[in-house]
Amino acid sequence: MTAITHRPAGVTHPEDHLLRVALRADATLCAGLGLFVAMAADPLARLVGLTATAAWIGGAALVAYGATLYSAARLAGIRRVGLAVLAGNAGFTAAVVTVLATGVLHLTSAGVAAAVAFTAATVALSWLQYLGVRRLA
């Protein structure tokens, strides 16, 4: 019997498991929610106070982002991916807070609640991603 002394290509290290799972969870949430928003753009737009076109574009963008992020979670340089996603999530959170505080978009109370809920989920996943990146430092 011989011992395997190296990892085959594509096998991840135990230290990066949390980061990869957090990135995939973020990707799945974004793609799933984006698909729902794109499919139900017209009724959702009336509910939250956006145009149907804006809702569809936002949903399609979330689907594309989710697919890209899910693919990026497989890359070998996962720490850099995690840092980039953390920076993007922080920017997204700051943008949502600014939009809600200034009232630039005339959202209904349901729209504000949906934005807050999605941002809270983003912050929670960002915390897991942060812990995953720290584990690799």
Q: Where are the domains of the chain?
A: 16-136
pLDDT at 1 over 70: no
pLDDT at 99 over 80: yes
* 8-state DSSP, 15: G
Measured CA to CA, the distance from residue 19 to residue 84 in angstroms comes to: 12
Helices (H), 2-108: 17-39, 41-48, 52-72, 78-102
Q: What's the mean per-residue pLDDT of the chain?
A: 92
Q: Give 3-12's long-range contacts (Cβ < 8 A, gap of 24+).
A: 10/74, 12/78
The percentage of residues in the chain with a pLDDT greater than 70, rounded to a whole number, is 91
Per-residue tokens: 15: 């230290």
pTM: 0.85
Residues 6+ apart with CB under 8 A from 118: 33, 96
Query: What is the arithmetic mean of pLDDT over 126-131?
Result: 97
Tell me the pLDDT band of 96, cut-offs 50, 70 and 90.
Answer: very high
pLDDT at 106 over 80: yes
Pick from 31, 135, 126, 131: which is nearest to 87 by CA?
126
pLDDT at 131 over 90: yes
